[in-house]
Amino acid sequence: MRGTANRYPMTADMALRIGAAAGRYFRKDGSAAHRVVIGKDTRRSGYMLESALTAGLTSTGMNVLLLGPVPTPAVGTLTTSMRADVGIMISASHNPYHDNGIKFFGPDGFKLSDEAEVEIERLIEAGVEPADPNNIGKAKRIDDGRFRYAERLKSTFPPGLRLDGLKVVIDCANGAAYRVAPEVLWELGAEVIEVGTAPDGFNINKGCGSTDTRTCAETVVTHGADLGISLDGDADRVMIIDENGVVADGDQIMGLMAGRWAVQGRLNGGTLVATVMSNLGLEHFLAARGLRLERTAVGDRYVVEAMRRGGWNLGGEQSGHIVMTDYATTGDGLLAGLQFLAAMIETGQPASALVRQFEPVPQMLRNVRYAAGQEPLQAESVRRVIADAEARLTGAGRLLIRKSGTEPLIRVMAECTDESLLADVVGGIVAAVESAA
């Protein structure tokens, strides 16, 4: 759930109702031994939503453990390690400060199933059903949540390796990892240069982070750093920046990890899971090594669901979600950054030699905004243009058109080795959608 804070549906009233519904869902057996962990990022509205969720949960008998500002993957990890029934992260991820959101994790640390979410939505509609006064839950602040998460992160770094002699820029996007990320890198031996570690409640993702890597890249070059790690507001995404300021997206990072893990015999089923947005170049890179790319719908939850069904252990998104289920239940930007650093140390190669695993096929993405209630993709004129574009791209590329899951946008993406054809195809579809909208 995501939207503008203090506007429906991201209101304190709705958060209270969601908390009460989640409490009813996870206390089906009526016992008093149920608990929930809640983390948040650094948005000002997090205070409001945290308090409202706590009120809703405790009113139905849940005991609440408040972690304060921690990355999203920390909530997944601590939900399991603290034997909680549910974990909740209050964050709008890479969105601007004025947005906020609520993410749920089940007792296994993975995001809730569609079935569980539908049932909680039904309970929201049914209204709050308060517990008996003797069964009202308690709330407790957990002061060492980030330290527990930090120890878990360090345990994933190869034994015997240290970051001594490496200068690393860490960009925390003024978000949830602003304390834990620099601490972990320093404790592993790196010389750490911090960017985006002064949150004020309004500057999360502003001119920094994985969606705006310019400041991080400039800092890497200015300080002669070996690597830049750029996280988003809740630290479940990452972009890697080499010593020359060149940015590697999620596709390049996944390509590196898949190739290394395959050689080491660690890549389950010889398969990498990624979304339909990942570049064709990644698919060709894997095929040349006898590996397979399993594609899913856009969204890290669909990547994880496919990984669990197939028993695969590596997946992610071009946007920087990197999921390694050997270590974590969700995307973890800092974990991926540590694995990249381990690859640098073990190969003895600089970041610039690792960030370009394959040559991407030219890709173009354009967004078209439409008004509520409109269905521009249903227009016959748009369908004709799309059919023509698909025919023109046959054998030379691919086309993907979809609605955004978070905004009223039509996303038009195409890939083609012929860049003039690519521009012509995308331009034609965008013009048709704009006309219909």
Token duo for residue 306: 């496919």
As to burial, measured by CB atoms within 10 angstroms (0-12 exposed, 13-18 middle, 19+ buried), residue 134 is: exposed
CA atoms within 13 A on the CB side of 81: 14
Torsion over CA: 254, 257, 260, 263 (sign):
negative
Query: From the candidates 45, 59, 91, 93, which is the catalytic residue?
Result: 93
8 A C-beta contact, residue 277 and residue 298:
yes
* 360 cis-preceded (ω within 30 degrees of 0): no
Token duo for residue 401: 């058109």
Torsion over CA: 350, 237, 231, 146 (sign):
negative
31 is catalytic: no
Token duo for residue 252: 């390049």
What is the C-alpha to C-alpha distance for residues 113 and 155, in angstroms, rounded to an integer? 29
What is the C-alpha to C-alpha distance for residues 218 and 282, in angstroms, rounded to an integer? 27
Taking Cα atoms as reference points, which of 175, 163, 183 lies closest to residue 235?
175
How much helix, strand and coil, in percent to the nearest 5, is found in the chain?
40, 20, 40
Positions annotated as catalytic residues are 93
